């Protein structure tokens, strides 16, 4: 038996497998090996998840499903970190899904993501391809693999009336008592805060309806780097994105009719650069505050991943300092064990 990673020899024939083809001395035939149900590549921001996921997908005849809450938006490329070149592996463009699927102005949410994820996943496996979920949005990762169906939650006027007299701090504490805060988007304004509490309340009241969701045999790989290296990478990447036109990109979104409030919803880069473009803060203040905020975000991502481990998810940590080929090899080899 001759594999791409190891070799076995038989006296009567030689068996060669590059995932899809068996070669015998007497005859040759093709056999499609069913892909593993789901590979997940995750980790904090600025750790090289997409490049690694693309190489794993290329090695396993796979396609990538993005689990990034901002890369779903068309025209939001530099600020959201869409590096299309990362999907190119040795001249081959790895297919990807859930990138550039909605227009700016729409507030894409985790319920929509779960529906879109399932569609993309089924589209991939029906063609006997390997699905590779890639992203650092822990909320989206868990929505995909967490065994709970998200529900389309209607408005609850009675609940909202009860919360009318509550302060912002009281509402934030109430939401945090119901679930961890993934990032600050749920607390950027009162309406989103009320809606988040409304959703969590509805989900608790309709828990039995949430059990109708597929369970995946999932292999989760998370990239690990020490905190200072992540901080250095974040700062370097921020400078690079500003040089590549992130400010101009956000200026065009404002000119195109996307409101300052909507841009704040789309994350840290869009929030602070909007404040700079509207004259609320100076450039140096924007850069320093944004840089610090992204560092804090990376720390929250690690907290989320550790929480996933406490909940029973098995995360296989990959040393982010290893050469790309070595990281890819380690993942592919572990999938074959």
| Model pLDDT for residues 57-71, shown as the tens digit of each residue | 999 999 999 999 999
pLDDT at residue 131 greater than cutoff 60:
yes
Tell me what the mean pLDDT of segment 79-99 comes to. Answer: 97
- Tell me what pLDDT residue 311 has: 93
3-class secondary-structure state, position 92: strand
Digit-coded pLDDT (tens) for 172-192: 899 989 887 765 566 767 888
**pLDDT for 18 beyond 60:** no
105 has pLDDT over 50 = yes
pLDDT at 27 over 70: no
> Can you give the pLDDT at residue 2?
37
Q: What is the pLDDT of residue 185?
A: 63
Taking residues 24-46, what's their average pLDDT? 61
Sign of the CA dihedral running 109, 111, 116, 121: positive
8 Å CB contact between 274 and 254: yes
In this predicted structure, what is the pLDDT of residue 150?
Answer: 87
- pLDDT-based confidence at 196, cuts 50/70/90? confident
Q: Say if CB 41 and CB 49 are below 8 A apart.
A: yes
Architecture of the domain defined by 38-151+206-335: 3-Layer(aba) Sandwich (3.40)
Task: Give me the chain's average pLDDT, please.
Answer: 87
pLDDT at 183: 58
Within the chain, where are the H helices?
49-59, 110-125, 138-145, 157-162, 168-178, 190-205, 227-243, 246-255, 260-265, 268-277, 283-310, 324-335
Give pLDDT tens digits for 207-224: 777 777 888 999 999 999
Most confidently predicted of 12-16, 108-112, 168-172, 233-237: 233-237
pLDDT at 179: 83
pLDDT of residue 16: 36
Does the pLDDT of residue 21 top 50, yes or no? no
Q: Spell out the domain ranges in the chain.
A: 1-33, 38-151+206-335
- Percent of the chain whose predicted confidence (pLDDT) is above 70: 87
Q: Strand order of the sheet with strand 62-66?
A: 96-97, 62-66, 130-134, 38-42, 218-224, 315-319
pTM over 0.85: no
Q: Greater confidence, 151 or 130?
A: 130
Residue 108 CA to residue 264 CA, distance in Å, equals: 13
Question: In whole angstroms, how far apart are CA 334 and each of 144, 169, 223, 233?
Answer: 22, 46, 15, 28
Asked which of 1-15, 174-188, 315-329 is least confident by mean pLDDT, the reply is 1-15
State yes or no: pLDDT of 23 exceeds 60: no
* CA pseudo-torsion sign 244, 247, 250, 251: negative
Longest dimension (CA), the chain: 81
């Amino acid at each position: 038996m001759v594999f791409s990673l190891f070799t076995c020899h038989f006296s009567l024939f030689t068996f060669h497998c590059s995932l899809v083809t068996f070669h015998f001395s007497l005859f040759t035939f093709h056999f499609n090996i069913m892909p593993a149900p789901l590979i997940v590549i995750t980790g904090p921001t600025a750790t090289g998840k997409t490049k690694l996921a693309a190489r794993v997908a290329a090695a396993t005849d796979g396609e990538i499903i993005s689990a990034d809450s901002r890369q779903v938006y068309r025209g939001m490329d530099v600020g959201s970190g869409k590096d299309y070149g990362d999907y190119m592996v040795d001249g081959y463009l790895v297919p990807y899904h859930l990138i550039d699927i909605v227009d700016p102005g729409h507030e894409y949410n985790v319920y929509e993501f779960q529906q879109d994820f399932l569609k993309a996943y089924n589209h991939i496996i029906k063609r006997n391809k390997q699905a590779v979920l890639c992203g650092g949005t822990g909320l989206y990762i868990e929505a995909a693999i967490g065994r709970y169906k998200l529900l389309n939650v209607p408005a609850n006027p009675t609940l909202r009336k009860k919360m009318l007299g509550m302060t912002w701090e009281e509402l934030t504490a109430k939401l945090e008592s119901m679930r961890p805060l993934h990032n600050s988007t749920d607390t950027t304004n009162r309406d989103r805060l009320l809606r988040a509490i409304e959703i969590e309340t509805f989900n608790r009241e309709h828990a039995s309806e949430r059990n109708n969701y597929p369970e995946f045999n999932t292999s989760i790989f998370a990239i690990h780097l020490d905190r200072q290296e992540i901080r250095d990478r974040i700062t370097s990447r921020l400078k690079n994105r500003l040089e590549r036109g992130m400010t101009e990109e956000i200026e065009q979104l404002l000119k195109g009719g996307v409101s300052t409030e909507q841009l704040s919803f789309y994350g840290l880069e869009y929030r602070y650069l909007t404040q700079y473009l509207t004259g609320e803060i100076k450039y140096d203040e924007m850069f320093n505050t944004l840089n610090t905020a992204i560092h804090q975000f990376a720390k929250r991502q690690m907290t989320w991943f550790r929480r996933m481990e406490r909940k029973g998810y098995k995360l296989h940590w990959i040393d982010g300092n290893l050469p790309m080929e070595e990281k890819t090899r380690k993942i592919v080899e572990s999938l074959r064990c």
